[in-house]
Amino acid sequence: MKKDFPSSELPFAYRHQPLSGNIINGLGETEKIAATQIFHGSGARELEWGKLELFFGLINPFKVSWLNLVNRWMLRNADGVISKNKRNVESLSDMTSEIKELAMKFGAGSVGISPMIKQALYKHGEINYTNAIVILYPMDGNEMKYVTTNRAGAETMRAYMEITKAAITISEEIRAMGWRARAYCEGADILHIPLAINAGLGELGKHGSLICREFGSSMRIATVLTDLPLNHDKPIDIAVDDLCIGCRRCTIDCPVDAISDDKQMVRGEEKWYVDFDKCVPYFTETAGCGICIEVCPWSKPDRGFSLSEKLLEKRAKKLNKEKFINI
Amino acid sequence: MKSFEEQFYIENPTRIKAFKRDLLLLLWLFKRALMWTGKGLFIRLAYNKAKATGKPLVLEDTLKD
């Protein structure tokens, strides 16, 4: 049964609907093509659904708007001066451990490292770094209970600020070692989720967001791109699909029925996909929505590890049973 | 039109370049703050009216280029 969330009747509309976000996103496209920015741009580019994004920015309450401006001001240090004394990397594993320790010390809740992959770039995107340090920062579960309200919107922005500070500090430390490094945070020119999955931080959930064992989906992602040589983490299997296939919490609770029960073909890949045209207008109306993240069983505090363990165990048992029957 | 990163991320800037970037960023932020307080106020009023009357706000009319 649907919970009592705000109505799906919206007090605003387009006279001429922009090109469907699903078409722009490559829904049904069987060829592997790069993604195109539609809505959450980095604040200066003309986007197909840009009017709605501008409207979202203007109806935001003062606190959210103010935090956003402060965040943007901090981002001037996302790139900067590189030390002339380049530190040699003698041991990749030592350097990787050092960077991960630094990330945790500077406030990251979880960290993983991926090579830079082309799936993380938008069409016409050109970013020439070799590695991506992906960090996660948890949102406060007590505040996120108020999803669809400005209170949860402010918590999201606070989490963005904290993760921005962490990512900038990591990039500054790496530049002080004489290596190139650049922090990408809120509304960036790169796609964080493919990098996070490749960095072994989690898997894509039915609701189109990353699911990790530490925080479920109740977190923000930031990435530091760098040329510093590092060991890469491998993608992990935490059995997200095992639950998502049968679980209908987000599909049922989504007031606009934007979440599908089946994976779909998107830019040459069969994956979970959220209907953009249904989701984003409601997202705009409800301070960034977040219902699917809040109701997701993975997002319950301290639940992810045990849930993943149980699901993997269940899968192994099922496989063993099938093997036995076949024998 | 350039993205935020393209405009304000500078690799290895000189002091002058960094200072110029900071000034341009301050101007960019000021414009956004001004928009939120000026145009934004009218939009929030119209939006609240639309919510109260049930007559949807047309984005193209509200946010003219």
Question: How big is the A-B interface in CB pairs under 8 Å?
Answer: 111
User: pTM value?
Assistant: 0.95
Q: Which residues of B touch A57 (CB under 8 A)?
A: 32, 36
**Interchain proximity B59–A12, CB inside 8 Å:** yes
**Interchain proximity A189–B6, CB inside 8 Å:** yes
Please name the member of A52, A54, A75 whose beta carbon is closest to the beta carbon of B8.
A75
> The complex's ipTM?
0.95
Confidence tier at B65 by pLDDT (50, 70, 90): low
Of A44, A97, A170, the closest CA to residue B4 belongs to A44
DSSP assigned state of A77: G
**Interchain proximity A58–B13, CB inside 8 Å:** no
**Among the listed ranges A103-107, A199-203, A318-322, which one has the minimum average pLDDT value?**
A318-322
Please name the member of A16, A42, A55 whose beta carbon is closest to the beta carbon of B63.
A55
Among chain A residues, the shortest Cα distance to B50 is held by: A11
Percentage of residues in chain A with pLDDT exceeding 90?
Answer: 88
Shortest Cα distance, chain B CAs vs residue A183, angstroms: 9
Confidence tier at A119 by pLDDT (50, 70, 90): very high
Please name the member of B11, B32, B54 whose beta carbon is closest to the beta carbon of A180.
B11
The pLDDT value given to residue A44: 58
- The DSSP annotation for A92-130 comes to HHHHHHHHHHHHHHTT-SEEEEEE--GGGBBTT-----S
Q: Which residues of B touch A10 (CB under 8 A)?
A: 56
Question: At residue A42, does pLDDT exceed 70?
Answer: no
Residue that has been written with the tokens 């922090």 in this structure: A183
Question: At residue A46, does pLDDT exceed 80?
Answer: no
Question: At residue A77, does pLDDT exceed 90?
Answer: yes
The CB-side HSE value for A221 (13 A sphere, CA atoms) comes to: 25
Confidence tier at A127 by pLDDT (50, 70, 90): confident
Over residues A263-269, the mean pLDDT reads: 97
Q: Is A15 part of a structural domain of the chain? A: no
**Interchain proximity B44–A57, CB inside 8 Å:** no
User: Would you list the domain boundaries of chain B?
Assistant: 4-62
**Among the listed ranges A41-55, A84-98, A187-201, A221-235, which one has the minimum average pLDDT value?**
A41-55
Q: Which residues of A touch B1 (CB under 8 A)?
A: 44-46
Please name the member of A11, A69, A184 whose beta carbon is closest to the beta carbon of B50.
A11
Q: Is A67 part of a structural domain of the chain? A: yes
**Interchain proximity B57–A12, CB inside 8 Å:** yes
Question: At residue A98, does pLDDT exceed 80?
Answer: yes
Print the domain residue range for A42.
21-326
The CB-side HSE value for A11 (13 A sphere, CA atoms) comes to: 18
The pLDDT value given to residue A3: 66
Shortest Cα distance, chain B CAs vs residue A159, angstroms: 20
Q: By the CB < 8 Å criterion, does A86 face chain B?
A: no
Over residues A264-291, the mean pLDDT reads: 96
Question: At residue A125, does pLDDT exceed 90?
Answer: no
Domains: count for chain A: 1
Q: Which residues of B touch A50 (CB under 8 A)?
A: none
Confidence tier at A13 by pLDDT (50, 70, 90): very high
- The DSSP annotation for A14-66 comes to -SSPPSPHHHHTTBT--S---B---SS--SSS--TTHHHHHHHHHHS-HHHHH
Over residues A66-77, the mean pLDDT reads: 96
Q: Is A6 part of a structural domain of the chain? A: no
Q: Is A13 part of a structural domain of the chain? A: no
Q: Which residues of A touch B39 (CB under 8 A)?
A: 58
Confidence tier at A2 by pLDDT (50, 70, 90): low
Of A290, A180, A292, A171, the closest CA to residue A228 belongs to A180
